[in-house]
Protein backbone atom coordinates (compact mmCIF):
# COMPACT_ATOMS: atom_id res chain seq x y z
CA UNK A 1 0.00 0.00 0.00
CA UNK A 2 1.23 3.49 -0.86
CA UNK A 3 -0.72 5.06 2.02
CA UNK A 4 -1.45 8.74 1.39
CA UNK A 5 0.01 10.28 -1.75
CA UNK A 6 0.10 13.94 -2.75
CA UNK A 7 0.93 15.74 -5.97
CA UNK A 8 2.75 17.89 -6.77
CA UNK A 9 5.64 17.83 -4.28
CA UNK A 10 6.65 21.41 -5.04
CA UNK A 11 4.94 24.30 -6.80
CA UNK A 12 5.72 27.94 -7.46
CA UNK A 13 2.81 30.20 -8.38
CA UNK A 14 2.42 33.85 -9.18
CA UNK A 15 -0.15 35.89 -7.29
CA UNK A 16 -3.56 35.36 -8.84
CA UNK A 17 -2.82 32.01 -10.43
CA UNK A 18 -4.90 28.97 -9.61
CA UNK A 19 -3.95 25.39 -8.91
CA UNK A 20 -5.28 22.14 -7.50
CA UNK A 21 -3.44 19.99 -5.00
CA UNK A 22 -4.23 16.31 -5.33
CA UNK A 23 -4.45 13.76 -2.55
CA UNK A 24 -5.26 10.06 -2.70
CA UNK A 25 -5.30 7.26 -0.12
CA UNK A 26 -5.47 3.52 -0.67
CA UNK A 27 -6.36 2.50 2.89
CA UNK A 28 -10.14 2.63 2.40
CA UNK A 29 -10.39 5.41 4.98
CA UNK A 30 -13.62 7.33 5.38
CA UNK A 31 -12.30 10.70 6.53
CA UNK A 32 -9.79 12.92 4.79
CA UNK A 33 -8.24 16.25 5.79
CA UNK A 34 -6.26 19.16 4.43
CA UNK A 35 -3.87 21.02 6.74
CA UNK A 36 -1.41 23.82 6.21
CA UNK A 37 1.81 24.20 8.14
CA UNK A 38 3.60 27.51 8.30
CA UNK A 39 7.24 27.79 9.44
CA UNK A 40 7.66 27.05 13.12
CA UNK A 41 3.96 26.44 13.59
CA UNK A 42 1.68 23.52 14.06
CA UNK A 43 -0.86 22.22 11.62
CA UNK A 44 -4.05 24.14 10.97
CA UNK A 45 -7.09 22.47 9.48
CA UNK A 46 -8.30 23.96 6.20
CA UNK A 47 -11.10 21.58 5.18
CA UNK A 48 -12.08 18.06 5.97
CA UNK A 49 -14.36 15.38 4.57
CA UNK A 50 -15.96 12.98 7.02
CA UNK A 51 -17.08 10.64 4.27
CA UNK A 52 -17.49 10.45 0.52
CA UNK A 53 -19.79 13.21 -0.68
CA UNK A 54 -19.39 15.48 2.33
CA UNK A 55 -17.01 18.35 3.03
CA UNK A 56 -16.81 20.95 5.77
CA UNK A 57 -14.73 23.96 6.72
CA UNK A 58 -11.92 23.83 9.20
CA UNK A 59 -10.08 26.57 11.04
CA UNK A 60 -8.67 28.45 8.02
CA UNK A 61 -10.88 27.80 4.93
CA UNK A 62 -10.78 31.25 3.29
CA UNK A 63 -9.22 31.22 -0.18
CA UNK A 64 -9.63 27.46 -0.64
CA UNK A 65 -12.15 25.02 -2.04
CA UNK A 66 -12.21 21.24 -1.86
CA UNK A 67 -13.70 18.29 -3.70
CA UNK A 68 -14.16 14.77 -2.38
CA UNK A 69 -14.13 13.11 -5.78
CA UNK A 70 -14.63 9.60 -4.41
CA UNK A 71 -13.61 7.67 -1.33
CA UNK A 72 -9.96 7.67 -2.37
CA UNK A 73 -9.41 11.25 -3.53
CA UNK A 74 -9.68 14.65 -1.88
CA UNK A 75 -8.43 17.71 -3.76
CA UNK A 76 -7.70 21.24 -2.57
CA UNK A 77 -8.05 24.17 -4.95
CA UNK A 78 -6.62 27.65 -4.72
CA UNK A 79 -8.66 29.82 -7.09
CA UNK A 80 -6.52 32.96 -6.87
CA UNK A 81 -3.28 32.35 -5.02
CA UNK A 82 -1.94 34.95 -2.60
CA UNK A 83 1.51 35.22 -0.95
CA UNK A 84 -0.17 34.47 2.40
CA UNK A 85 -0.91 30.99 1.06
CA UNK A 86 2.77 30.14 0.86
CA UNK A 87 2.97 27.11 3.09
CA UNK A 88 3.39 23.37 3.25
CA UNK A 89 0.13 21.54 2.66
CA UNK A 90 -0.52 18.13 4.15
CA UNK A 91 -3.32 15.76 3.34
CA UNK A 92 -4.31 13.17 5.93
CA UNK A 93 -6.81 10.36 6.26
CA UNK A 94 -8.26 8.17 8.99
CA UNK A 95 -10.71 5.31 9.36
CA UNK A 96 -12.80 5.19 12.51
CA UNK A 97 -10.15 5.54 15.20
CA UNK A 98 -8.59 8.90 15.81
CA UNK A 99 -5.13 8.26 14.33
CA UNK A 100 -4.40 10.22 11.19
CA UNK A 101 -2.04 9.19 8.43
CA UNK A 102 -0.30 12.00 6.60
CA UNK A 103 0.92 12.35 3.05
CA UNK A 104 4.41 13.65 2.23
CA UNK A 105 3.20 17.23 1.72
CA UNK A 106 3.17 19.83 -1.05
CA UNK A 107 5.50 22.80 -0.67
CA UNK A 108 3.87 25.85 -2.24
CA UNK A 109 5.50 29.21 -2.85
CA UNK A 110 3.34 32.11 -4.06
CA UNK A 111 5.28 35.04 -5.44
CA UNK B 1 -12.19 27.84 20.77
CA UNK B 2 -10.17 24.88 21.89
CA UNK B 3 -6.46 25.50 22.22
CA UNK B 4 -3.59 23.08 22.62
CA UNK B 5 -0.32 24.59 23.78
CA UNK B 6 3.12 23.06 23.91
CA UNK B 7 6.27 24.08 25.71
CA UNK B 8 9.07 24.57 25.08
CA UNK B 9 9.00 25.69 21.46
CA UNK B 10 12.58 24.61 20.96
CA UNK B 11 15.14 22.56 22.87
CA UNK B 12 18.77 21.92 22.07
CA UNK B 13 20.39 19.06 24.00
CA UNK B 14 23.65 17.15 23.95
CA UNK B 15 23.35 13.56 22.87
CA UNK B 16 22.68 11.43 25.93
CA UNK B 17 20.75 14.11 27.80
CA UNK B 18 17.07 13.73 28.58
CA UNK B 19 14.30 15.76 26.97
CA UNK B 20 10.72 16.56 27.96
CA UNK B 21 7.94 18.38 26.14
CA UNK B 22 4.66 19.38 27.75
CA UNK B 23 1.23 19.74 26.23
CA UNK B 24 -1.75 21.56 27.75
CA UNK B 25 -5.29 21.73 26.46
CA UNK B 26 -7.86 24.39 27.26
CA UNK B 27 -10.51 21.66 27.38
CA UNK B 28 -10.74 18.09 28.65
CA UNK B 29 -9.71 15.61 26.00
CA UNK B 30 -11.14 12.18 25.28
CA UNK B 31 -7.67 11.15 24.14
CA UNK B 32 -4.35 12.68 23.18
CA UNK B 33 -2.03 11.70 20.38
CA UNK B 34 1.63 12.38 19.75
CA UNK B 35 3.24 12.77 16.36
CA UNK B 36 6.84 13.18 15.26
CA UNK B 37 7.90 15.17 12.22
CA UNK B 38 11.46 14.82 10.98
CA UNK B 39 12.98 17.89 9.25
CA UNK B 40 11.49 18.12 5.78
CA UNK B 41 9.11 15.25 6.49
CA UNK B 42 5.52 14.72 7.42
CA UNK B 43 3.94 14.03 10.82
CA UNK B 44 4.04 10.39 11.82
CA UNK B 45 1.82 8.95 14.53
CA UNK B 46 3.66 7.81 17.65
CA UNK B 47 1.02 6.93 20.22
CA UNK B 48 -2.45 7.56 21.59
CA UNK B 49 -3.34 7.88 25.28
CA UNK B 50 -6.93 7.45 26.37
CA UNK B 51 -7.19 6.85 30.11
CA UNK B 52 -6.76 9.38 32.87
CA UNK B 53 -3.25 9.06 34.34
CA UNK B 54 -2.15 6.66 31.61
CA UNK B 55 1.56 6.07 31.09
CA UNK B 56 2.94 4.33 28.02
CA UNK B 57 6.50 3.56 27.02
CA UNK B 58 8.12 3.02 23.66
CA UNK B 59 11.77 2.15 24.23
CA UNK B 60 13.33 5.43 25.43
CA UNK B 61 10.09 7.43 25.05
CA UNK B 62 7.63 7.76 27.94
CA UNK B 63 4.21 9.32 27.40
CA UNK B 64 1.88 10.46 30.17
CA UNK B 65 -1.73 11.63 30.16
CA UNK B 66 -2.74 13.83 33.07
CA UNK B 67 -5.32 12.85 35.67
CA UNK B 68 -7.65 15.62 34.51
CA UNK B 69 -7.09 14.65 30.86
CA UNK B 70 -6.06 18.20 30.00
CA UNK B 71 -2.32 17.78 29.84
CA UNK B 72 0.27 15.35 28.62
CA UNK B 73 4.02 14.97 28.42
CA UNK B 74 6.61 13.17 26.33
CA UNK B 75 9.93 12.31 27.93
CA UNK B 76 12.90 10.97 26.00
CA UNK B 77 15.66 9.33 28.00
CA UNK B 78 19.24 9.55 26.74
CA UNK B 79 18.52 11.33 23.48
CA UNK B 80 20.10 10.19 20.23
CA UNK B 81 20.61 12.06 16.97
CA UNK B 82 17.78 10.02 15.49
CA UNK B 83 15.40 11.78 17.90
CA UNK B 84 15.84 15.08 16.04
CA UNK B 85 12.56 16.52 14.83
CA UNK B 86 9.44 18.30 15.96
CA UNK B 87 7.07 16.60 18.37
CA UNK B 88 3.40 17.51 18.23
CA UNK B 89 0.58 16.65 20.56
CA UNK B 90 -2.96 16.64 19.22
CA UNK B 91 -6.39 16.24 20.70
CA UNK B 92 -9.80 15.68 19.14
CA UNK B 93 -11.68 18.84 18.37
CA UNK B 94 -14.65 19.46 20.60
CA UNK B 95 -16.65 20.94 17.75
CA UNK B 96 -17.87 17.57 16.51
CA UNK B 97 -15.82 17.73 13.34
CA UNK B 98 -13.82 14.56 13.97
CA UNK B 99 -10.64 16.50 13.33
CA UNK B 100 -7.59 17.09 15.51
CA UNK B 101 -6.33 20.26 17.12
CA UNK B 102 -2.54 20.25 17.02
CA UNK B 103 -0.19 21.94 19.42
CA UNK B 104 2.45 24.22 17.93
CA UNK B 105 5.11 21.58 18.47
CA UNK B 106 8.47 21.32 20.22
CA UNK B 107 11.50 21.22 17.97
CA UNK B 108 14.28 19.05 19.33
CA UNK B 109 17.86 19.43 18.20
CA UNK B 110 20.41 16.89 19.42
CA UNK B 111 24.09 17.70 19.25
CA UNK B 112 26.38 14.68 18.84
Confidence of residue B49 (pLDDT cuts 50, 70, 90): very high
- The residue in chain A having the minimum alpha-carbon distance to the alpha carbon of residue B46 is A99
Answer yes or no: do A103 and B105 touch at CB < 8 A. no
- Cβ pair A6, A23 in contact under 8 A: yes
- The residue in chain B having the minimum alpha-carbon distance to the alpha carbon of residue A39 is B104
The beta-carbon neighbor of B105 closest among A42, A101, A104 is A42
Which residues does chain A have within 8 Å of residue B44's beta carbon, measured at their own beta carbons?
Answer: 102
Which positions in chain A have a beta carbon within 8 angstroms of at least one beta carbon in chain B? 31, 33, 35, 40-45, 48, 50, 56, 58, 90, 97-105
pLDDT in tens, B52-91: 999 999 999 999 999 999 999 999 999 999 999 999 999 9
Minimal CA separation from B2 to chain A, in Å: 11
Average pLDDT value over all residues in chain A: 93
pLDDT in tens, A42-54: 899 999 998 888 9
Amino acid sequence: NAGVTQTPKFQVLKTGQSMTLQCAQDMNHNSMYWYRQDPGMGLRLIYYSASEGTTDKGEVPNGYNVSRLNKREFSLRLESAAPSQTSVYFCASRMTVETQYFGPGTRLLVL
Amino acid sequence: GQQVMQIPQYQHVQEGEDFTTYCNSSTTLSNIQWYKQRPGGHPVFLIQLVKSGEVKKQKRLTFQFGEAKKNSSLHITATQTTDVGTYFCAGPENAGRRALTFGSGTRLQVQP
